[in-house]
Amino acid sequence: MLTRKLGEIVSSAVRSGTSESAREAAKPGIIDTVATMLAGRREAPVTILLRACGALPAGAAKEVAGLSATRAAEAALINGVAAHVLDFDDVALRGHPSAVMVPAILALAAELGSSGREALDAYVVGYQVWGELVQREPGMHHIKGWHPTSVFGSVGAAAACAALLRLDAGRAAHAIGLGATQSAGLMANFGSMSKSFQAGRAAQAGVWAARLAQEGFTAGADVIEHPQGFLNAFSPAGKADTERPLADPAQGWTIAQQPVSIKKYPTCFYTHRTLDSILAARALTDIPADQVRDVQVHMSREHATVLRNHRPETGLAAKFSIEFAAASALLFGRAGLSELTDSVAQDARVQALMSRVSTVLSTDYSAEWQGAAVADWAVIHLADGRRIKTAPVTHAQGHAMRPLEKPDLDAKFGDCVRAGGAGVDADRLLGKLWRLEDEPICELWS
Amino acid sequence: MLTRKLGEIVSSAVRSGTSESAREAAKPGIIDTVATMLAGRREAPVTILLRACGALPAGAAKEVAGLSATRAAEAALINGVAAHVLDFDDVALRGHPSAVMVPAILALAAELGSSGREALDAYVVGYQVWGELVQREPGMHHIKGWHPTSVFGSVGAAAACAALLRLDAGRAAHAIGLGATQSAGLMANFGSMSKSFQAGRAAQAGVWAARLAQEGFTAGADVIEHPQGFLNAFSPAGKADTERPLADPAQGWTIAQQPVSIKKYPTCFYTHRTLDSILAARALTDIPADQVRDVQVHMSREHATVLRNHRPETGLAAKFSIEFAAASALLFGRAGLSELTDSVAQDARVQALMSRVSTVLSTDYSAEWQGAAVADWAVIHLADGRRIKTAPVTHAQGHAMRPLEKPDLDAKFGDCVRAGGAGVDADRLLGKLWRLEDEPICELWS
């Protein structure tokens, strides 16, 4: 009955809306995704896709990455890639929910003429369904090879789009099944253009799923919980829990209870605690970068495994490098879009400092964050013999437990718009996004 | 190096072609797929997709299902669904390779202006790559929930399309990785429209994968063999063999050594041996259907599990019913497209006879066909006390070990074209397909 009950969550939200607190909690993720979409719009995976989609006709949906108009599914694909390509998008539910759902919602909402309030409700619903699925798996999808963002994203985006299309429970359940049918994406593609493609494809799949279900296309009635269905197929050890009761939205929507973490740095989230820790130390103490003899970063073995690039030579690779993070923090006092570039990664000073960074791996695990150490910090030895231990950080700035303040969010938005060179009036767009419940989606970009 | 070596198979075939024997072996699958595409063109999943794709522009690729022109990727999607929706398409490599690859090849070849010979080579290459992947997995993908046709199809179609686009080894490897990135499809959707959708999506994914790789889009260099890559992610027990050397095409292409089985009946292949057995008995002996007291079908437990519809009331459900197969054979002396309909399934005589059919499950397994009994047969008791044991059948007519003769293939082609009502000159089209190496693909339908 799980598939059917997920369909009922959608249809119930269509009839009654979600809640004001849930919609407010959804806003930072939506705003931040628009920012990362605009920042990523000139990256190679996006420009190649734009060429490949070149023959598409004009349509009602805004294709933000290229600032031209095209059809909703393709707009969702392209903008999903743009949102995820810089690895600067938000983090939650063991993946990146907004990079998949927001492009799908904005594209379809623009085509349908939906209100901002409907778009917010759609996000809340998709997030709820995503949470219901991810919480049933005790294992690590990554280990088996699955990219959770795209695997769950296809279903979450389908649910969000089903809400926008105002599907009834039966058709919404088929949309969810059609999303599951298209769930895909492999870890082995990390470090290639296919990582962001997987997010974009999931966004596109969500639009297709809901559109087809609206037209009467069917999926299996039990496609989520069936022994040969979604949860078991993707479960590394086949131990997914299909029996656990669904959370009752009347007791609070998941987005309000487990909101997204917003990235302050365009690097793997696993580097953020170290970055905060070193940058805080640098603000308090003079640490001349050219005097650094060595740096030991203390973090968990699992996180270090993901940060596999030890001497990166491209901006993309540098995103997954604790050595780069430490070097950038010490040399420049920041690690922003202007540091995450090929030329900075290849800079002789950066390369030299990276060679002096090593890791000390901890098995003192956090109870609340799977695979993380309780805290991350660094020990820096200087040429003059000084030893600086930076303060341990448990929640990076931007973590849901330590959210960015509005000025920080707004500053990131402006940085992203400038970096992408879209020629958009950032302040005007940002103002509309903070008032999204009152803004028709198709007027967002005007 | 597996991913790279698969790319080299593609590029080597682009440089040197495949072989005449391989191209000849490919023809029956291609011809049969065009037949099932045309037969399936008015089924609901196809007509819904045509509506959903309604806004697409005209293009060079023929969209056979609707006999209108549209873009290659969408044509591949729609025709892949049409080819698979009736479950009348060919069987090989633990799935249905032609229903995925042929729609992708024909659509892209039409757009590119490829020759028939190039299309045949592309099929041979895609089949080779599919075979290399499927043979590395000792377990049953179905049990874990995966639909092998769509999972392997996405990669096989990508390889075939990469050959048509004449990609070099590096780009072909990226195409294969981009196919793997999109591999998806769940068993729990069997019995719904999503089953054929999964085949169509794989065809579409193949076109996208090759097109993007051509433009420089990248996937992981080791996406097939990486511990978090394609083979392990889809492997039920994580025991895929990534080390086994690749077969050398110079020693013979897989299509020539393990050709497809062509279905004589539009039902699950697991019913075919029983159908052959009962129909042969009926041709030899008078078996009045209204005198049948009961029928016991002897088959394996595994096959019976897949044939889960015991009293089907739709043509779609009847495809997966041994009771329907037996009743149709006894009542009508055939089980063709005109029997696999809702009205025949609901016919009172059919329903009455189905209620007298039961199964005797064997554990005497075939050494060559995973999950099958050594042979299938039936025992029929008549009201007058007669007991008729039909002859055991090991290879159904159409099985690769007992291929259909050309007149049977041609007759199926004509039946399929008539059933689909496409208004195509079947004889003329069939003649062109048998001479495919000399026929430009874009002139196939003219």
pLDDT tens, residue by residue, B325-352: 999 999 999 999 999 999 999 999 999 9
The verdict on a CB contact (< 8 Å) between B188 and A71 is no
- Residue A95 falls within a domain, yes or no? yes
Would you place residue B306 in the very low, low, confident or very high pLDDT band (cuts 50, 70, 90)? confident
Which one has a higher pLDDT value, A22 or B56? A22
Instruction: Tell whether B254 and B274 lie within a shared domain.
Output: no
Count the Cβ atoms, other than its own, within 10 Å of residue A284. 11
Q: Are residues B281 and B367 in the same domain?
A: yes
The structure tokens listed for B230 are: 């394609």
Query: Would you say residue B400 lies in a domain?
Result: no
In chain B, the residue whose alpha carbon lies closest to the alpha carbon of A193 is B218
B427: pLDDT confidence band, cut at 50, 70 and 90?
A: very high
Query: At A184, which CATH number?
Result: 1.10.4100.10
B421 and B304 in a common domain = no
pLDDT of B56 > 50? The answer is no
Report the side by side order of strands in the sheet with B357-362.
Answer: B357-362, B292-300, B377-382, B387-389
CA distance B166 to A152: 35
Q: Is residue A305, in this structure, part of any structural domain at all? A: yes
End-to-end CA distance of chain B: 44
What is the C-alpha to C-alpha distance for residues A234 and A226, in angstroms, rounded to an integer? 12
Residues A117 and A237 in one domain: yes
From chain B, the residues in CB contact with A142 under 8 A are 228
How sure is the predictor about A371, in pLDDT bands with cuts at 50, 70 and 90?
Answer: confident
- The answer to whether B145 contacts A198, with C-beta atoms less than 8 Å apart, is no
Q: Inter-chain contact A194–B178, Cβ cutoff 8 Å?
A: yes
Residue A333 dihedral angles phi and psi, to the nearest 5°:
70, 15
Question: Once rounded to an integer, what is the mean pLDDT over residues B4-32?
Answer: 97
Q: Which residue of A has its CA nearest to B178?
A: A194
CA dihedral sign, ordered B141, B146, B149, B154: negative
Which amino acid is present at B75? A
- Nearest-Cα distance to chain A for B228, in Å, is 4
Q: What is the per-residue pLDDT for A71?
A: 78
CB A203 within 8 Å of CB A157:
yes
Residue A60 binned pLDDT confidence (cut-offs 50, 70, 90): very low
Q: Which residues from A are below 8 Å from B198, CB to CB?
A: 181
Alpha carbon B131 to chain centroid, angstroms: 14
Is the domain of B163 the same as that of B285? no
Instruction: State whether A186 and A276 are in the same domain.
Output: no
Mean pLDDT (whole number) for A270-299: 97
Q: What is the pLDDT of residue B4?
A: 98
pLDDT of residue B233: 98
CA atoms of B366 and B273, how far apart (whole Å):
13
Q: Is the pLDDT of residue A61 over 60?
A: no
Q: Which domain holds residue A349?
A: 269-389
Do A96 and A130 belong to one domain? yes
pLDDT at A57: 40
Backbone angles phi, psi at A247, to 5 degrees: -65, 145
3-state secondary structure of A389: strand
Helix axes of B148-164 and B194-214: crossing angle, nearest 10 degrees: 30
Residue B288 lies in a domain: yes
Whether B314 contacts B345, CB under 8 Å: yes
Question: Considering chain A, what percentage of its residues have pLDDT values greater than 90?
Answer: 84
pLDDT average, residue stretch A421-434: 92
Both B192 and B94 in one domain: the answer is yes
More confident residue, B367 or B65: B367
Last residue of a domain, one of B363, B389, B415: B389
Place B190 in a pLDDT band, splitting at 50, 70 and 90. Answer: confident
Give φ, ψ of A62 to 5 degrees.
-80, 130
pLDDT over 60 at B57, yes or no:
no
pLDDT of residue A70: 55
Q: Which residue is closest to A151 within chain B, CA to CA?
A: B184
Q: Quick one: A105 and A239 in the same domain?
A: yes
Q: Does B273 reside within a domain?
A: yes
Is 70 exceeded by the pLDDT of residue B54? no
Compute the average pLDDT of residues A321-346. 96
% of chain A at pLDDT higher than 70: 96
Amino acid at site B214 = Q
By CA distance, what is B216's nearest residue in A? A48
The pLDDT-based confidence of A446 (bands split at 50, 70, 90) is: confident
Work out how many domains chain B is built from and give that number. 2
Residues A217, B197: C-beta atoms closer than 8 Å = yes
Q: What is the pLDDT of residue B71?
A: 78
If asked whether residues B115 and B227 sit together in one domain, one would say: yes
Query: Which of A222-231, A314-323, B50-59, B306-315: highest mean pLDDT?
Result: A222-231
Mean pLDDT on B63-91: 81
pLDDT digits (tens, 9 = 90+) for B124-145: 999 999 999 999 999 889 889 9
Pair A240, A123 in one domain = yes
- Chain A: give the shortest CA distance to residue B146, in Å: 7
pLDDT in tens, A72-111: 888 899 999 999 999 999 999 999 999 999 999 999 998 8
Q: Is the pLDDT of residue A368 over 90?
A: no
Residue A321's domain is classified under what CATH number? 3.30.1330.120
pLDDT at A195 over 50: yes
Alpha-carbon distance A10 to B440, whole Å?
49
Is the pLDDT assigned to residue A65 strictly greater than 70?
A: no
Say if residue A137 is in the same domain as residue A153.
Answer: yes
Say if the Cβ atoms of A194 and B223 lie within 8 Å.
yes
**CB–CB of B230 and A186 under 8 A?**
yes
Does ipTM surpass 0.90 in this model? yes
Considering chain A, what is the average pLDDT of its residues?
A: 93
**In this complex, how many residue pairs, one in chain A and one in chain B, have their CB atoms less than 8 Å apart?**
176
pLDDT at B140: 87
Residue B413 within a domain: yes
Q: Measured between alpha carbons, how far is B318 from A22 in angstroms, rounded to an integer?
A: 47
**Residue B359 confidence class, pLDDT cut points 50, 70, 90:** very high
Q: Is residue A160 part of a domain?
A: yes
Asked whether residue A113 is domain-assigned, the answer is: yes
Query: Which pLDDT band holds residue B55 (cuts at 50, 70, 90)?
Result: very low
